[in-house]
Amino acid sequence: MEKEVSLSVKCPMCDSSLMENHVLFGNKPTVKVNIETEHDRGVLWLSCIYGSSEKKLSIEIADGEIVDMYCPHCNKELAIEDNCHECNAPLVAFVIKAGGVVRICSRKGCDSHHIVFKEVSAEMSKFYYEYGF
Ligand SMILES: [Zn+2]
Ligand SMILES: [Zn+2]
């Protein structure tokens, strides 16, 4: 059985936690960001389980649409200068409190995501330690 890894993330700009303890998936907190599309604004809650594509949206977004994501604390855009390998949409980055960065694709319907560790050995061992792989 695969072990679930739940990530606790924060904003790369202002360091505030993006975890939302009032909106739960199962019994886990969610990652909350403000979103904007060409025609609407709303809120997106993402599963904190790495690899899960479970999400909840306050507005209707069509599959394939690209969503701009913003930190709810500092309102800075979370997109980075790198694009999804699968669909070429901008990637969005969250800093993992235990170390490393998780990147997700900003296109709805594309579940591409990966974790980047700056110093692989040190960060990885910390990550493995905290999450008990
Ligand atoms: Zn912020
Ligand atoms: Zn993508």
Say yes or no to pLDDT of 12 above 80: yes
Residue 2 in any domain: the answer is no
Residue 36 in any domain: the answer is yes
Nearest ligand to the C-alpha of residue 64? 2
Residue 88 in any domain: the answer is yes
Residue 4 in any domain: the answer is no
Nearest ligand to the C-alpha of residue 34? 1
Nearest ligand to the C-alpha of residue 13? 1
Q: What is the pTM for the complete model shown?
A: 0.85
Residue 75 in any domain: the answer is yes
Say yes or no to pLDDT of 16 above 50: yes
Q: Give yes or no for a contact between 67 and 44, defined as CB atoms under 8 angstroms apart.
A: yes
Percent of the chain residues topping a pLDDT of 90: 71
Residue 26 in any domain: the answer is yes
Q: Stretch 94-122: mean pLDDT, rounded?
A: 84
pLDDT value at residue 133: 44
pLDDT value at residue 114: 84
Rounded distance from Cα 120 to ligand 1 centre (Å): 25
Nearest ligand to the C-alpha of residue 74? 1
Which has the closest alpha carbon to 43: 17, 14, 20, 10? 20
Bridge partner list, 36: 41, 68
Rounded distance from Cα 90 to ligand 2 centre (Å): 8
User: Can you say whether the dihedral through the CA atoms of 131, 10, 79, 63 is positive or negative?
Assistant: positive
Rounded distance from Cα 34 to ligand 1 centre (Å): 11
Residue 113 in any domain: the answer is yes
- Tell me which of 58 and 131 has the higher pLDDT: 58
Name the DSSP letter for residue 48: S
Q: Stretch 66-80: mean pLDDT, rounded?
A: 97
Q: Which two tokens stand for residue 129?
A: 């330690």
Q: Give yes or no for a contact between 49 and 5, defined as CB atoms under 8 angstroms apart.
A: yes
Rounded distance from Cα 60 to ligand 2 centre (Å): 19
Q: Stretch 19-45: mean pLDDT, rounded?
A: 96
Provide the residue range defining the domain that includes 96.
Answer: 9-131
Residue 121 in any domain: the answer is yes
Say yes or no to pLDDT of 132 above 70: no
Please tell me the total count of domains within the chain. 1
Instruction: Give the integer Cα–Cα distance in Å for 100 and 60.
Output: 31
**Range with the lowest mean pLDDT among 23-37, 65-79, 110-124?**
110-124
Name the DSSP letter for residue 118: S
pLDDT band at residue 96 under the 50/70/90 scheme: very high
Rounded distance from Cα 108 to ligand 1 centre (Å): 22
